[in-house]
């Protein structure tokens, strides 16, 4: 029977991660794969990897992570912000991969239809530490810098044409709400995003200040509002299963070799979420 698999944070250009793509394989020809962002920083590596995965799986659904949205000096694609995202969407469509801009696919193999909702919702610096609660974004960022925490997004992830990452996040929240509100009421959902939709997965962060770059308070109730069967995400490189309000949350990230090599189970490049 068909199965639904998921992966994220493959970071295929990091030495040691590339060969692990060979282990992202289905059990059968009808299996689907969710890719929750951070395939690579290079536009060509993103397309090549997703094309390879699409050849193996009956359906592949992708959402962007922050690394895909970086514009780095070495990347042949120098588009920034929204233009880069739109370019990646077209690259995905060219190899038959679903994106947040396409019709939401429906997993039909259970007792109730499950709409898979790939979401690009971003972050808006609203997940603050207690010390930064009630302070301005500038104060919160200054506290993070003092703690030695500055996400590389601050240098490579440009919000063009939006004036800020918060403004881009706000726009993406509106797009996502409109799409989610249109899902038939008798469908449950699988909410798929790179950044976690609920804050509880950030609790184990070694540097709690990093939560600034991990999500937004605006999505904290989406797993309930949109009838989630489960929520799939990456970004934190803390692969595990948790729950909030009885809803299962799955972080499906591989992470960097320095991280997975220290784990007893080693590298886990793909996870099985559901079997029909």
pLDDT in tens, 124-159: 999 999 999 989 999 999 999 999 999 999 999 999
For the CA atoms of 64, 66, 85, 89, the dihedral, rounded to the nearest 10 degrees, stands at -20
Q: Are 177 and 213 in contact (CB under 8 A)?
A: no
pLDDT at 141: 95
Q: How many CB atoms are located within 10 Å of the residue 264 CB?
A: 4
pLDDT at 109: 86
Scored b (16 or more CB within 10 A) or e, 144-155 reads beeeebebebee
Q: Which residues of the chain have pLDDT under 50?
A: none
Question: Hey, what domains does the chain have and what are their CATH numbers?
Answer: 3-275 (3.60.21)
pLDDT at 238: 97
Question: What tokens were used for 78?
Answer: 């120098």
CA distance 192 to 116: 7
């Amino acid at each position: 029977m068909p199965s639904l698999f998921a992966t994220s944070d493959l970071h295929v250009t990091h030495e040691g991660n590339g060969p692990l793509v060979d282990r992202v394989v289905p059990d059968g020809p009808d299996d689907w794969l969710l890719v929750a962002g951070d395939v690579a920083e290079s536009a060509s590596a993103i397309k090549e990897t997703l094309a390879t995965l699409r050849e193996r799986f009956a359906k592949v659904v992708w959402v962007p992570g922050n690394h895909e949205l970086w514009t780095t000096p070495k990347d042949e694609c120098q588009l920034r912000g929204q233009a880069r995202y739109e370019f990646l969407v077209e690259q995905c469509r060219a190899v038959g991969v679903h994106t947040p801009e396409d019709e939401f696919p429906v997993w039909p193999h259970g007792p109730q239809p499950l709409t898979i909702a790939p979401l690009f919702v971003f972050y808006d610096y609203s997940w603050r530490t207690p010390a930064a609660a009630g302070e301005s974004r500038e104060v919160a960022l200054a506290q993070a810098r003092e703690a030695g925490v500055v996400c590389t997004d601050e240098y490579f992830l440009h919000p063009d044409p939006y004036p800020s990452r918060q403004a881009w996040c706000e726009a993406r929240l509106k797009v996502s709400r409109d799409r989610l509100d249109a899902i038939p009421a008798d469908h449950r959902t699988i909410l798929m995003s790179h950044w976690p939709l609920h804050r509880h997965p950030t609790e184990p962060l070694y540097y709690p200040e990093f939560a600034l770059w991990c999500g937004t308070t605006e999505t904290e109730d989406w797993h309930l509002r949109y009838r989630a069967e489960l929520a799939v995400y990456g970004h934190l490189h803390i692969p595990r299963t948790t729950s909030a309000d009885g809803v299962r949350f799955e972080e499906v990230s591989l992470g960097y070799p320095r991280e997975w090599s220290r784990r007893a189970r080693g590298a886990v490049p793909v996870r099985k979420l559901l079997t029909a």
